[in-house]
Amino acid sequence: MPTRWTSCLLAVLCTCVALSDTARADDPWEFWPEAQLFVGLNPRTRVFLDAAYAKGKESDEASLDTAGYLDISLLPVGPRRRRLLRTEDWQRGWRLEATRELVVLDHAVVPYLNVEWFYDTRYDGWTRTLYQGGTEVTLNRHLRFELNLSQQTDTLPSRSRLNAFGVVAKGYF
């Protein structure tokens, strides 16, 4: 058990160091609450509904973004296929981010680091970089929550930086 807590603490500390390294005292901070609902239609298809509130993430105005998606998962291939298919949440292992699932006090805890780059055709260039680090905690079969720290750096049309603390509630049915 001590090694799991040590790994979790190390992931949180690395996230804080990575995000605070380039942060300045005058960078604005925001709170980004979000709710997500995943409804499984069959083992490979699900509906994903998302509602996110932000001010400054996309513009200076407060916004509530809502979206709906149809997720279609491709079956894994290669030597890990059989092992992945035996796990209940095999899609999680194919994210484009660094994650590691741990068990802490009988709950799955997944610390992660993620970097996204955004290209904007209006400016014909890479306009935004989003760094995120956080942890997703599984409460039960139907409910998870995620806490994260984010740093968004915009370079075009003008240079700006924004820091955020995010909380995501996730329901799985």
Specify burial of residue 72 (Cβ count, 10 A radius: 0-12, 13-18, 19+): exposed
Q: Give the model confidence (pLDDT) of 130-166 as tens digits.
A: 999 999 999 999 999 999 999 999 999 899 999 999 9
Q: How far is CA 122 from CA 57, 126, 137, 144, in A?
A: 18, 10, 38, 37
The residue with greater pLDDT, 12 or 172, is 172
Residue 94: predicted pLDDT: 46
- Give the CA angle between residues 136, 138, 140 to the nearest 5°: 160
Mind spelling out the 3-state secondary structure of the chain? CHHHHHHHHHHHHHHHHHHHCCCCCCCCEEEEEEEEEEEEEECCEEEEEEEEEEECCCCCCEEEEEEEEEEECCCCCCCCHHHHHHCCCHHHHHCCCEECCEEECCEEEEEEEEEEEEEECCCCEEEEEEEEEEEEEEEECCEEEEEEEEEEEECCCCCEEEEEEEEEEEEEC
Name the band, by pLDDT with cuts 50, 70 and 90, for residue 25. low
pLDDT at 69 over 90: yes
Name the band, by pLDDT with cuts 50, 70 and 90, for residue 28. confident
> What is the pLDDT of the chain when averaged over all its residues?
80
Region 53-68: mean pLDDT is 79
Contact 128, 152 (CB under 8 A): yes
